[in-house]
Amino acid sequence: MGFIDRFFKKPAATFEKISLEEFITDWQNIHENDPAVGVLENIYADIKLPERSTTGSAGYNFTVPFSFKLKLGESIVIPTGIRCKMDDSLVLFIAPRSGQGTKYRVSLLNTIGVIDSDYYHADNEGHILVKISYDGCPVQEKKLRSTKSHKMFKDGEIEVFLEGEDIAVFNPPELRFEAGKGFAQGVFLRYGRANEKVIKDTRKGGFGSTGK
């Protein structure tokens, strides 16, 4: 099929849940403190397929299948339990929700997730794994009035603040992600192809598998 035909062909994509067995396997490979299998079965049962929130939304909301907290500087790999079957003219981009990025600088460690159509056939059933980090944001600084003279270390140097002087205190909150709430969004895009040689027909794994 030529590029013009591919471009004007109505693309199709379907979100699906991976199997329970694959979800448990991937969870146990990712997280050291594993809950009981019965708990994982309950988490799996409550997984929601991504949906758009409005008719004009480009992004499909991915929700977290379990509750967790992140402190400043921490990161986590989220096994979404989701895979995507899509036409080979499509690619799925995964990005953090804009509100979390703006307020708290929550980001994907690989900047943006790229889900190719052939990832659906990977050994892990095309399980979409999303790794996010909490880096904090300067807007969380608050001006406080110093009530007494004291010293503070900053960038390896000592700063002395006098009584009554305004000081900036960086006090980022601990972020809590509730099960069933959106944490990332997926956007489908169509793409073109050049006349390059196809290196291989199938892939084996997830992160970085196309370069192996």
pLDDT at position 210, please?
44
Structural domains of the chain, ranges and CATH numbers in brackets: 3-137+172-192 (2.70.40.10)
Per the structure block, which two tokens stand in for 54?
A: 């409005």
pLDDT at position 211, please?
43
Find where tokens 């305004």 sit: 166
Quick: pLDDT tens for 121-143.
Answer: 999 999 999 999 987 654 444 45
pLDDT at position 170, please?
56
Residues in CB range of 167: below 8 A, 6 or more apart? 143, 144, 145, 146, 152, 161
Of the candidates 136, 146, 85, the one whose C-alpha atom is nearest the C-alpha of residue 115 is: 85
Question: Taking 70 as the threshold, does the pLDDT of residue 117 lie above it?
Answer: yes
Mean pLDDT for the stretch of residues 24-35: 87
- Quote the CA–CA distance of 124 and 87 in Å, as a whole number: 19
pLDDT at position 171, please?
60
Element (H, E) at 29: helix 20-30
Question: Taking 80 as the threshold, does the pLDDT of residue 19 lie above it?
Answer: yes
pLDDT at position 193, please?
79
Q: Which residue has the higher pLDDT, 4 or 47?
A: 47
113 CB-contact burial (10 Å; exposed 0-12 / middle 13-18 / buried 19+): buried
Question: Taking 80 as the threshold, does the pLDDT of residue 32 lie above it?
Answer: no
Question: Taking 80 as the threshold, does the pLDDT of residue 181 lie above it?
Answer: yes
pLDDT at position 4, please?
54
Give the number of C-alpha atoms closer than 13 A to the C-alpha of residue 88, restricted to the C-beta side. Answer: 8
61-83 core/surface letters (b: 16 or more CB in 10 A; e: else): bbbbbbeeebebeeebebbbbbb
- Quote the CA–CA distance of 37 and 56 in Å, as a whole number: 39
Element (H, E) at 49: none
Question: Taking 80 as the threshold, does the pLDDT of residue 7 lie above it?
Answer: no
Quick: pLDDT tens for 59-70.
Answer: 999 999 999 999
Paired with 107 in beta bridges are 133
Compute φ and ψ for 107, nearest 5 degrees: -140, 165
Question: Which 8-state DSSP code applies to residue 147?
Answer: S
Q: Are strands 82-86 and 13-17 parallel, antiparallel or unpaired?
A: antiparallel
